[in-house]
Chains A and B, each alone.
Chain A
Amino acid sequence: MVAPVIVLLGVFHYFPTLGNVIAFQDYSPYVGIRGSDFVGFANFSRLFSEVAFWKALANTLSITAFQLVFFFPIPIGLALLLNSVLSTRLRTFIQGVVYLPHFFSWVLVVSLFQQMIGGAGLLAQTLREHGHSAVDLMTKPDTFIVLVTAQAVWKDAGWGMIVFLAALSTINPALYEAAAADGANRWRRLWHITLPGLRPVIVLLLILRLGDALTVGFEQFILQRSAVGGGAAEVLDTYVYYQGLLAGDFGYGAAAGLFKGLVGLVLVLVANKFAHLIGEQGVYSRS
């Protein structure tokens, strides 16, 4: 049953992924992998020797950590909230629109935020009309992490909610009825029935998110780079882009990709182990 998937992944994923060997080469696409010279770890040492690389890495990790706390739980909360809405019509309506910003490009999302809270946006212009000095919430390096998280939440929380709605539907409603009969109030029912029911999915998505820990977005950061400066907006992907990919340095890009994958793999394995310790399956079980 698994065979077709393995074949497809083998041909279209693993085979070309072998091409990442160019991370150890001074690669030219026109002479190919066989014709390019091997340079050992030169691409990696170029990556790791720059202070700016470590700054970008630190930025990336703090954004990931921040978003794990302030973004990750929101789709869960949203799913719970909607699930508790009794009016079918209202629930259907909100469910039916809340995921739509997922389909907006980052260019559009940033423009929309600008139109609302930017220096010439609705907020600023309203303040000006009333004789106050205008604030521009989009050019502050100190709060940039909050801004990008707010944008990410707005764009993707509704879409992320859908998986949790599906998970909620697998919880046995009779459990609630029985618990209520035993005198458990709504918070206790949430804690003892709903959350345990969602836990496998939550743990799974958390682990997968950790696998992507070094990816926090690209376009979003490039678009707002000059507004807050490279100090706040440089993340790993933008760094690699400007230092290598922009000039077509594929070996350097592949080295960065391998580094990201390895870090992700370590995080996934550690998190998976941890999941086992708290009695969860994680991505894959112990045996």
Chain B
Amino acid sequence: MTTQTLSTPRRLARQRAQTEAGRPVWEEQPSWFGRLSKPVVLALVALLVTFPLYVVVVTSLSTTEAVTRAGGLVVVPRELTIAAYVQLLSGGVVTRALLISTGITLIGTAFSLGLTVLAAYGLSRPGSLLHRPLLFVVLLTFLFGPGIIPSYLVVNALGLIDSYGSLILPTAISAFNLIVMRSFFMGIPGELIDSARIDGAGEFAVLSRIVLPLSKAVVAVVGLFYAVGYWNAFFNAMLYINDNNKWPLQMVLRTYIVQAQVLPTGAGGVTSGSGMGLAPAPSLAIKMAIVVIAVVPVLVIYPFIQRHFTKGVIIGAVKG
């Protein structure tokens, strides 16, 4: 059963794609208006997104001179340099933080996703114990949040200051993700689950053999949301991690953002560089390189997420 659910839809999809230009045989030719407008809209969307992206990348590769000449973001590339990336990624500090962030993201995502799947499944079966009040409990967290000081006091009281747990546990569950996942689980035909039950499958068996294989798309999406959240999170680390050696990547990168900034009046005219004869990469290039670094991991994993957006998962299962 499991193998069929996996393979049948893909085979079907592949068969359907065998027609001319990928169009299913049953689908009619688009109208001239559709044929004309769609590429225009798509091109526009692509341009609106890729052009600013290009500006960001070019600026991250620019010299101080180019940034100065442009008075900000650089559109026309001139003498390119990877100085910003070298400055960011050289030295042990950033590489160590990179490892920490990767670990937190992997463990945190697995933890969050696992618990979210369990809870979403538990709350998705009508008639399960207390599911409405529990769902309400989850929903309320979406509407009412704790202040920073009480949160800090709780983490402090649990002895989690300076532990990696403080970067995962307080924000492990997103009500939004949980509610969305539950809604997808609700869409799975009841007869599939009932028939498995009749075959004697327990709750965990139903979850792992029926629900999860049918929900790859939403599991992938929620996993992406969690992973992106962990990768880009810095606020908890800022509050809870005193030891600079335990900082995740985003915290370290934030110290690069503020370099070459004049301190507020009252600091006696101290600047960050303080006349140390430093010649750092232009701060704007550094900032843009940090944007690029935030985006790259997502660019790398997104294709794997996208793969699960294949059509027709459920019907395959029903037929199988």
Contacts and interface: CB of A to CB of B under 8 A. Distances in A.
- Do any beta carbons of A and B sit within 8 angstroms of each other in the complex? yes
Instruction: Please tell me the size bucket of the interface on A.
Output: 35 or more
Interface string B1-38: 00000000000110010000111101110100000001
Nearest to A211: B143
B138 interface: yes
B49 A97 contact: yes
Contacts of A281: 183, 186
A87 B38 CA distance: 12
A16 B150 contact: yes
B176 A208 contact: yes
Contacts of A17: 141, 144-146, 150
Nearest to B50: A97
Interface stretch (A1-9, A34-42, A51-59, A222-230): A1-9
Contact of A19 (B55, B149, B178, B179): B149
A92 interface: yes
Given A96-B303, A101-B49, A8 B147 contact: no
Interface stretch (A128-136, A139-147, A180-188): A180-188
A170 B313 contact: yes
Given A4-B115, A173-B16, A208 B179 contact: yes
Contacts of A96: 299, 302-303, 306
Interface stretch (A61-69, A160-168, A235-243): A160-168
B170 to A, nearest CB: 4
B314 A170 contact: yes
B310 A169 contact: yes
A112 B179 contact: no
Given A8-B173, A186-B30, A20 B144 contact: yes
Contact of B312 (A81, A173, A284): A173
Interface string B79-108: 000000000000000000000000000000
Contacts of A268: 139, 143
A106 interface: no
Contacts, number: 240
Nearest to B149: A29
B55 A200 contact: no
B76 to A, nearest CB: 11
Contacts of A158: 49
Contacts of B196: none
Interface string B136-158: 11111111111101110111001
B209 interface: no
B56 interface: yes
10 contacts: A1-B203, A11-B158, A12-B170, A103-B294, A111-B72, A122-B75, A169-B308, A180-B27, A208-B179, A250-B147
Given A166-B217, A170-B313, A180-B27, 4 more contacts: A4-B118, A11-B158, A176-B24, A205-B180
Interface of B: 12-13, 16, 21-24, 26-28, 30, 38, 41-42, 45-46, 48-50, 52-53, 55-56, 72-73, 75, 115-116, 118-119, 121-123, 126, 131-132, 134-147, 149-151, 153-155, 158, 169-173, 176, 178-180, 183-184, 186-187, 203, 217-218, 220-221, 224, 232, 287, 291, 294-295, 298-299, 302-303, 305-306, 308-315
A-B pairs with lowest CB-CB distance, top 5: A19-B150, A16-B146, A1-B122, A16-B150, A166-B217
